[in-house]
Amino acid sequence: MSLTIGVEEEFVLVHPDNGTPVPAGPGILARAARGGPPAEGATGIQRELLTSMVETSTGICADLADVRKDLTAARARLADIAGAEGARPLASGTPTTAAPPRSPSPTPHYQHMRHLYEGLVTETETCGCHVHIAIPDRPTAVAVLNHLRPWLPTLLALSANSPFHQGVDTGYASWRTMSLSRWPTTRIPPYFSSAAHYDETVAALHTGGVLPPGANAYWLARPSDHLPTVEVRVADVTATVDEAVLQAGLTRALVRTSLDALADGRAAPRTADHMAHAALWTAARYGIDGPALHPHTGRQVAAGDLARELLTLVRPALKESGDWEEIDELLRWVLSNGNGADRRRRGSA
């Protein structure tokens, strides 16, 4: 069974001269609507949490060539429309310059979030890369989550692209992750025994008043509440299309590997929550050029070595889909040149 892919990318909108975030989102959305349907390969531009942010999305892609084509077209279309509004999209997990808090987008959902979460909303100018992989049914999607949990920090380490906050180097590779960690449930998901367990947990969070009405939990991997997919949302928005393709390819291969394990009756390792959270923090702190926590032993290892171990794990799935050579090359490039945070600090992102 071929697993289709969809990728969503969030961008902060900045002044083209000084990189300061600007509230250009409403104007960009209006201009995009007046322009009619997007060109083939760029499926649209959507509103995001703050008026200084927008999101683009690919279509439903059968292979990585389609993902690359759609991402390239979507980024180009957004750049053109943003330029007409006096802004440019910045592919960074957080803005690189200091700016005052922004206003939430004027929709009932986002306004409810502003009422519920107060200052967290206006301070969360963070941008991610979300990869959707088609899954045949919800119980399978929840079971796949358990197999994905140990490797989410490695996906973050490869994508980390947000070292700056308010114009200051935070010392972290992904400050976006640290900023989002203040929100309820924006972390590695718990181990779920079933789809019913997942739904009961989300219902309890709603009853407890920590999620907006109708909202899914914000876990960094989750079954979509409106699409037949698993959504992996751990990655920072990547500096390049190549790195987004790497995230898409590794994520699909991880899902395929998880499905194969389920078919063989192999249970997912029950990584303790505190170790999963520690591994995520370590990935956010050091990225790919530093230590990592091994997902099974809990011991400190080199993050680059762990990324190579992930590649070995999913090699059969990559071979099956015809993605091995491309993903192997892209991973080697990131390990050699650094992730977005490394390159941004060097001024070469």
pLDDT in tens, 275-308: 999 999 999 999 999 999 999 999 999 999 999 9
**Structural domain spans, the chain:** 5-337
Mark out the alpha helices in the chain (DSSP H runs): 25-34, 64-84, 108-117, 119-123, 138-148, 152-159, 175-180, 195-207, 241-263, 273-286, 303-321, 324-337, 340-346
Average confidence score pLDDT of the chain: 93
Q: In which band, very low, low, confident or very high, does the pLDDT at 41 lie, cut at 50, 70 and 90?
A: very low
Find the range with the poorest average confidence among 36-40, 72-76, 107-111.
36-40
Residue-level pLDDT at 224: 87
Residues 112-122, mean pLDDT to the nearest whole number: 83
Helix (H, G, I), strand (E, B) or coil at 316: helix
Q: Are strands 53-57 and 45-47 parallel, antiparallel or unpaired?
A: antiparallel
Answer with the residue of higher pLDDT: 184 or 107: 184
Residue-level pLDDT at 37: 54
For 125-147, the pLDDT digits (tens) are: 999 999 999 998 999 999 999 99
pLDDT at 43 exceeding the cut of 50: yes
Q: In which band, very low, low, confident or very high, does the pLDDT at 349 lie, cut at 50, 70 and 90?
A: low
The pair of structure tokens assigned to 94 is: 């957080």
Residue-level pLDDT at 252: 98
The pair of structure tokens assigned to 269 is: 């390792």
Q: How far is residue 3's CA from residue 62's CA, in Å, rounded to a whole number?
A: 7
Q: What is the CATH number of domain 5-337?
A: 3.30.590.20
Residue 6: which of 233, 277, 314 has the closest Cα? 233
The pair of structure tokens assigned to 93 is: 């997990």
Structure letter (DSSP) for residue 170: -
Answer with the residue of higher pLDDT: 77 or 106: 77
Residue-level pLDDT at 204: 95
Q: How far is residue 334's CA from residue 101's CA, in Å, rounded to a whole number?
A: 33
**Maximum average pLDDT range among 34-48, 233-247, 259-273:** 233-247
Residue-level pLDDT at 59: 93
- The model carries a pTM of 0.95
Q: How far is residue 24's CA from residue 43's CA, in Å, rounded to a whole number?
A: 20
Residue-level pLDDT at 36: 59
Computed from CA positions of residues 44, 45, 48, 53, in that sequence, does the dihedral angle turn out positive or negative? Answer: positive
For 323-332, the pLDDT digits (tens) are: 999 999 999 9
The pair of structure tokens assigned to 196 is: 């019913």
The pair of structure tokens assigned to 50 is: 């703050």
pLDDT at 229 exceeding the cut of 80: yes
Question: 3 and 28 in contact (C-beta within 8 Å)?
Answer: no
Residue-level pLDDT at 112: 80
Question: 206 and 213 in contact (C-beta within 8 Å)?
Answer: yes
For 11-28, the pLDDT digits (tens) are: 999 999 999 999 999 999
Computed from CA positions of residues 43, 46, 48, 52, in that sequence, does the dihedral angle turn out positive or negative? Answer: positive
Strand partners, 55: 10, 46
